[in-house]
Amino acid sequence: MKIGVLALQGAFIEHIKMLRGLGVEAVEVRLLQDLQDLDGLIIPGGESTTIGKLAVMYDLMEPLRQFAAEKAMWGTCAGMIFMAKEIGNGSAGRDQPLLGIMDIEVERNAFGRQVDSFETGLNVAVFHNGNGSPFPAVFIRAPRLVAAKGKARVIATLDDGTAVAAQQGKWLVTSFHPELTHDARFHQYFLQLVAGSDR
């Protein structure tokens, strides 16, 4: 299994380290040819407007959409915004380039300035049927899921009901940064989607 991490901007090195720690071959993706031979791709957190502009500049938008049509893709934080079909009203820069593949609406920077970043324990139903220990979710100027539509389903919410992770077939999105923790359960879950064992 070989997993790519889009390495235009943002927290890509941390994802690569996490994947390698799990014994998986992981490579940085910057060019079209880097997408060849990959079984899955992670779009990291960072700044979604910058990731979008660079993806347009490097002619990666269509190749990334084609890749997602066949293979597993996981967007964390800015990556979640980039994969979304819609950015909600409250968000700045609604005309930024989006892959627009996943049937979700997101709101950027949804947690306000006072709580720019925070960590909280999250119960994730898809891990051990929700019986496992809470996942330590790190939020950094994070987006929230306003709505999961069509075939997208919410897989994790905060205590107040705010949706922060969703799945649609082989596509996964998380508002937070599992690569900044020592808990590999989300990476393992993504690898299950890549392997096609959890659709």
Q: Choose between 71 and 108: whose C-beta lies nearer to ligand GLN.
A: 108
Nearest distance, CB of residue 109 and ligand GLN, angstroms: 5
Chain centroid to CA 187: how far? 11
CA-CA distance, 32 to 116, in Å (whole number)? 34
Angle at 169 between CA 4 and CA 66, to 5 degrees: 50
Residue recorded with tokens 């799990």: 22
| 128 classed as catalytic | no
Decide: 6 and 53 in contact? Cβ < 8 Å: no
Q: Which of residues 140-169 bind ligand GLN (CB under 6 A)?
A: 140-141
The span from the CA of 56 to the CA of 99, in Å, is 10
Give min distance, CB of 69 to ligand GLN, in A. Answer: 24
109 near ligand GLN (CB under 6 A): yes
Q: Quote the least distance from Cβ 20 to ligand GLN, whole Å.
A: 22
Q: Which of 39, 47, 119, 183 binds ligand GLN (CB under 6 A)?
A: 47
Catalytic hit among 77, 86, 105, 187: 77
Contact assessment for residue 6 and residue 41, using Cβ atoms and an 8 Å cutoff: yes
* Pairwise CA distance, residues 65 & 146, whole Å: 22
Q: Is 187 helix (H, G, I), strand (E, B) or coil?
A: helix
Contact set for ligand GLN, span 81-100 (CB under 6 A): 81
* Helix or strand (DSSP H, E) at 52: helix 48-57
Question: φ, ψ for residue 55 (rounded to 5)?
Answer: -65, -35
- Catalytic residue at 179? yes
Minimal distance, residue 36 CB to ligand GLN, in Å? 27
Catalytic residue (choose from 14, 105, 107, 177): 177
Q: Is 77 annotated as catalytic?
A: yes
| Interacting span for ligand GLN (CB under 6 A) from 45-53, 157-165, 166-174, 183-191 | 45-53
Candidates 13-21, 63-71, 76-84, 127-135; binding stretch for ligand GLN (CB under 6 A): 76-84
Q: Is 108 in the site for ligand GLN (CB under 6 A)?
A: yes
How far apart CA 154 and CA 168 sit, in angstroms, is 9
- Interface with ligand GLN by CB under 6 A: which residues? 45-48, 77-78, 81, 108-109, 140-141
